[in-house]
Amino acid sequence: MNARTLYPAERGNLGLSFEYFPPKNEEMEIQLFQTVADLAIFAPTFQTVTYGAGGSTKARSLTTVKRMIGEVGLKNTAAHLTCVGAPKAEVDAVIDEFVACGVRHFVALRGDPQGGIGSAYQPFPGGYESSAALVKALRARGDFEISVSAYPEKHPESPDVAADIDMLKRKVDSGATRAITQFFFDNDDFERYLERVRRAGIHVPIVPGILPINNLAQVVRFAGLCGSKVPEAIISRLAHLDDQPEERFKEASHIAAEQIVDLARRGVRDFHLYTMNRSPLIAAVCDLVGYARRPANRTAAPSYRAVATA
Ligand code: FAD
């Protein structure tokens, strides 16, 4: 065991998945595929590519997924899909395109209301009225793996956690096979949530979404929008390091690794990391936890240059 790792290998392997977003321009695309290549060394169980609400990233999400599966060879790539703001026929056509690219795993979502987070959700005329309806449609179309969202600290639109758990149950009863959570930093919140989910008779894996903090101000702002808390203890570990990038990086990697290891000690086996399309902090977290680096093989991606010239 590497002396610096926090989670002893003899306690058993932990699962890992990564989330990426579709790049907006060529420079971001180079960065994304370099990140994918850098992180493939950790042989994630799967990686996902997000999809903008209302189809705002449709073309870019499709291109990214197609390249990951077809060119890089990452067959275990999952496509996020939202159903808000689009008729069923349009969503179904996107499902067909993803399937034609080789997708066998969807992350099925409703998406934020068209007026943005906080505005009232209106089902689109002739569209899937909810995430559960989208899951049901996907399940009717094939034997896909279907992941859905979960909110340990409550979704901003929900009156309470019970309403969130009801929605999660509807999604699982419709055919979802896994839930991935919104990012959170307080593991007690997650554990309480998990107990309530299990009491509600939901038995699919609930995979914590872990967000290593590259930029504290941005994460605090984003957490406010999503209804997640950033505990004072974390703010005080990072806030004074604005002008010390190396120390900030080290502290941020420890915060995320400690969160993973604490959850692992509570019995959690799988972790989904929000990469923000950058590898250094994610790789540092994985190394610190003790995830094995594997030589390029099954899931290893060629470097971006090799992909570009392939
Ligand atoms: P649901 O699970 O359907 O609903 C979330 C909660 O909102 C429910 O539990 C319920 O209590 C409440 N709710 C839902 N509908 C109603 C209603 N009509 N009235 C009252 N309450 C209601 N967004 C993107 O745009 N693209 C992505 O790729 C993406 N990926 C994500 C991945 C993960 C793992 C997570 C956690 C979130 C992701 N999101 C993404 C964000 C997500 O789209 C938003 O949080 C959105 O507001 C809800 O979509 P959902 O599928 O989570 O909703």
What's phi and psi for 292, nearest 5 deg?
Answer: -70, 140
How far, in Å, is the centroid of ligand 1 from the Cα of 111? 5
- The pLDDT of residue 6 is 83
Residues with Cβ within 8 Å of residue 21, at least 6 apart in sequence: 49, 50, 57, 276, 277
Q: What is the pTM of this model?
A: 0.94
Ligand 1 and 130: CB distance under 6 A: yes
How far, in Å, is the centroid of ligand 1 from the Cα of 225? 13
How far, in Å, is the centroid of ligand 1 from the Cα of 98? 21
Rounded Cα gap, residues 189 and 109, in angstroms: 23
- The pLDDT of residue 189 is 97
HEC profile of 218-260: HHHHHHHHHCCCCCHHHHHHHHHHCCCHHHHHHHHHHHHHHHH
How far, in Å, is the centroid of ligand 1 from the Cα of 4? 38
Ligand 1 and 172: CB distance under 6 A: no
Residue nearest to atom 9 of ligand 1 (CA): 164
Bridge partners (DSSP) of residue 178 are: 147
The CA R_g of the chain, rounded to the nearest whole Å, is: 19
Rounded Cα gap, residues 297 and 302, in angstroms: 10
What's phi and psi for 206, nearest 5 deg?
Answer: -110, 105
Ligand 1 and 121: CB distance under 6 A: yes
User: Cα 135 from chain centroid?
Assistant: 17
- The pLDDT of residue 296 is 62
Using DSSP, how many helices (H) and how many strands (E) does the chain show?
A: 11, 8
Ligand 1 and 158: CB distance under 6 A: yes
DSSP 44: -
29, two tokens: 């695309």
- The pLDDT of residue 119 is 80
Mutate to test the pocket of ligand 1, among 49, 91, 109 (most ligand atoms within 8 A of CB): 109
CB 253 within 8 A of CB 288: yes
CB 291 within 8 A of CB 1: no
Domain boundaries, the chain: 8-289
Ligand 1 and 112: CB distance under 6 A: yes
Q: Active site residue: 19, 29, 153, 157, which one?
A: 19
Tell whether domain 8-289 is in CATH 3.30.70.20. no
- The pLDDT of residue 306 is 33
The stretches in the chain having pLDDT less than 70 are 1-3, 9-10, 296-310
Ligand 1 and 222: CB distance under 6 A: no
Closest by CA position to 132, among listed 90, 86, 94, 164: 164
Ligand 1 and 174: CB distance under 6 A: no
Ligand 1 and 57: CB distance under 6 A: no
Residue nearest to atom 42 of ligand 1 (CA): 111
For the CA of 132, the closest atom of ligand 1 is: 3
How far, in Å, is the centroid of ligand 1 from the Cα of 148? 9
- Any catalytic annotation for residue 19? yes
